[in-house]
């Protein structure tokens, strides 16, 4: 008959720690760790504790052996450490702002031609795509930064990223400061071009041109759309003239974006905003109209553009309040 003896708590703890270390450092760490545990246990026993209780409390004080092993081995206990985390956050924010809208816009454009999906389906697919792109961006950039940190180390950060200087500090007043004269003129000119094209389209383009907007749209709707565009011009010029945005101007911009989006989407889906474009292109260029235009997809595109303008207006209102609060 054979009997088995259970390995001591100290032996099990030391083995769990040192098995994760290299053969070169493992034996030295084992001797050091075992000696430290035995010394602490002896002190506790001398103080009146039972040997088993003293050993248990000493092991508990050392904590998780996996964490201790990583400390002995010089391996980080985090995915992305403090040396790289701020750079990772800045990169992820930039990629999300740039790539997610591009992916969603590409999906909407693809649906615009030859898709029979309704408005809700297109919105749902766009939201799902935005989520998937965002998850992939966060995951793969985190993997790359984790690999870089483990191979280059925290000290190699300055070789990959520019060192921080006080010049990088943002000025909250910049968010409400007016745009340059060139930017203001470009934005106003672009809006004027849109107004001119809209009025021309509603008046009938005649032969040789493509009738995109429905000339049968009621005059009241035409006046409302042009009026909202004119409001954008007034707000833009006023913000530039006063040297920056304030809450009333940002609120006017917000109202213009929301109302414009709602009106254009409703008229489009109601079939009153645009003409039968495949037929119009066929008539103008003498080609077969073998393609279709998905109005729900176009509506999603309009909602995205107007939504972006609304979010920008909300940020201007917030930044204006923050700047005022900081000056008090």
The tens digit of pLDDT for each residue in 278-301 reads 787 777 766 666 667 788 888 888
pTM score above 0.95: no
* Lowest-pLDDT choice from 33-37, 208-212, 219-223: 208-212
Region of 63 (left: φ > 0; alpha: ψ -120 to 50; beta: rest) is: left
| pLDDT of amino acid 3 | 39
In percent, the amount of the chain with pLDDT more than 70 equals 81
**DSSP secondary structure code for residue 169 in this structure:** P
Joined together, the tokens standing for residue 143 give 């993997």
Residue 178 has pLDDT above 90, yes or no: no
Task: Compute φ and ψ for 244, nearest 5 degrees.
Answer: 160, 175
The tens digit of pLDDT for each residue in 35-71 reads 989 899 898 888 888 888 888 899 888 888 888 887 7
Give residues with Cβ within 8 angstroms of 239, minimum separation 6: 178, 179, 245, 246, 249
| pLDDT of amino acid 258 | 94
Choose among 314, 197, 327: nearest CA to 247. Answer: 314
């Amino acid at each position: 008959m054979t009997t088995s003896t259970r390995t001591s708590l100290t032996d099990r703890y030391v083995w769990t720690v040192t098995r994760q270390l290299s053969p070169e450092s493992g034996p030295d760490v084992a001797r050091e760790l075992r000696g430290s545990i035995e010394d602490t246990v002896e002190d506790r026993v001398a103080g009146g504790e039972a040997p088993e209780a003293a050993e248990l409390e000493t092991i508990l004080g050392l904590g998780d052996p996996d964490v201790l092993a990583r400390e002995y081995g010089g391996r980080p206990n985090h995915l992305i450490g403090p040396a790289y985390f701020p750079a990772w956050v800045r990169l992820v924010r930039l990629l999300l702002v740039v790539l997610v809208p591009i992916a969603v816009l590409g999906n909407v454009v693809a649906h615009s031609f030859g898709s029979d999906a309704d408005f809700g389906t297109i919105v749902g697919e766009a939201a799902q795509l935005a989520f998937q792109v965002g998850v992939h961006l966060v995951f793969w950039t985190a993997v790359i930064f984790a690999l870089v940190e483990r191979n280059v180390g925290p000290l190699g950060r300055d070789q990959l990223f520019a060192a921080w200087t006080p010049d990088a500090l943002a000025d909250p007043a910049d968010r409400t400061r007016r745009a340059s004269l060139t930017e203001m003129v470009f934005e106003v000119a672009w809006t004027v071009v849109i107004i001119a094209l809209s009025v021309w389209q509603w008046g009938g383009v005649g032969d040789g041109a493509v009738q995109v907007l429905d000339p049968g749209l009621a005059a009241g709707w035409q006046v409302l759309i042009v009026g909202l565009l004119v409001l954008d011009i007034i707000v833009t010029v006023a913000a530039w003239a006063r040297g920056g945005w304030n809450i009333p101007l940002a609120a006017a911009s917000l109202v213009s974006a929301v109302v414009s989006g709602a009106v254009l989407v409703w008229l489009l889906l109601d079939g009153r905003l645009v003409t039968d474009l495949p037929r119009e292109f066929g008539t103008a260029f003498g080609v077969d109209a073998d393609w279709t235009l998905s109005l729900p997809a176009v509506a999603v595109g309009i909602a995205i553009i107007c939504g972006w303008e609304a979010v920008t207006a909300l940020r201007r209102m917030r930044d204006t309040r923050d700047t005022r609060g900081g000056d008090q």
